Amino acid sequence: MTTRPDAPFGARLRAAMSARGPLCPGIDPHASLLAAWGLPDTADGCERFAMTAVEALAPVVSSIKPQSAFFERHGSRGVAVLEKVIAASRESGCLVILDVKRGDIGTTAQAYADAYLDPTSPLASDAITASPYLGFGSLAPMIETAARHNAGVFALALTSNPEAPRFQHARTADGSTIAGEVLAGLRAANEGAESLGSFGAVVGATIGSTEENLDINGPLLVPGIGAQGGTADDVRRIFGAAVRNVVPTSTREILGAGPSVQALREAAARANDEFAALL
């Protein structure tokens, strides 16, 4: 399955998943991973780590998820490394989902959108993660900018951190949950989209269960696979019929196989095969 490079993000993601499998490995230059690879916790170490991961993974997976914070902690040199990661990954035919979890209002939200979704920006990515907890409407500048540039947005909906349920399961005046409001907003944004909408939800693989309707006609970015405990069986149980739209993301289990390029690629292939069979 192929699609035009200027097609909407959702259509490009569906085509990429069909061609390369659903797995979305993370690239997180965490201090402990740098140490495990025998690298210094510096901008240079970050670059060697991240570009090795790109060399191993970007040519073979459908999407990749750099975590911006682990680059930002090295200042401007770290952000320059992130720019290289984004560019090299996209040149390899891999979609980049930049994990930034930005959330604000008005002109500030628009500035975030311009930074990460406008193709003239050096940080331009295929999609970003975003926080909707200033109200789903606060994401409008990001969603509108993404739509204009055939990019995507993944909004946090059901995360697996222990504090999440108290907030995300809270009820609004009309009886729906906060998470349900986020999912409903995404469903509306994807209305009429063919193949797959461009606006997705972040739903943890270790949430246990949910009564929410996860079929939003858009992608479901699912962290927590592998080292964090999430399994293919968990994903099958949680997502039901919506499992066809799951983008499983694994970071520590795959990156822990490094620094060998071959070992990294083999770890990704094993996880990809497991989820390709499921989906």
Q: Which residues are catalytic?
A: 101
Both tokens of 224, joined, read 């927590």
DSSP code at position 251: -
DSSP code at position 230: B
DSSP code at position 174: T
* Alpha-carbon span 32 to 258, nearest angstrom: 13
- Residue 13 near residue 62 (C-beta atoms within 8 A): yes
In this structure, is the dihedral angle defined by the CA atoms of residues 242, 245, 251 and 253, taken in order, positive or negative? positive
Our separate counts of H helices and E strands in the chain read 12, 8
Torsion of CA 11, 220, 156, 30, to 10 degrees: -100
DSSP characters for 83-150? HHHHHHHHHTT-EEEEEEEE---HHHHHHHHHHHHSTTSTT--SEEEE--TT-GGGGHHHHHHHHHTT
Residues 6 or more apart whose CB falls under 8 angstroms from that of 221 comprise 24, 65, 97, 129, 154, 200, 201, 202, 203, 247, 249
Backbone angles phi, psi at 18, to 5 degrees: -65, -35
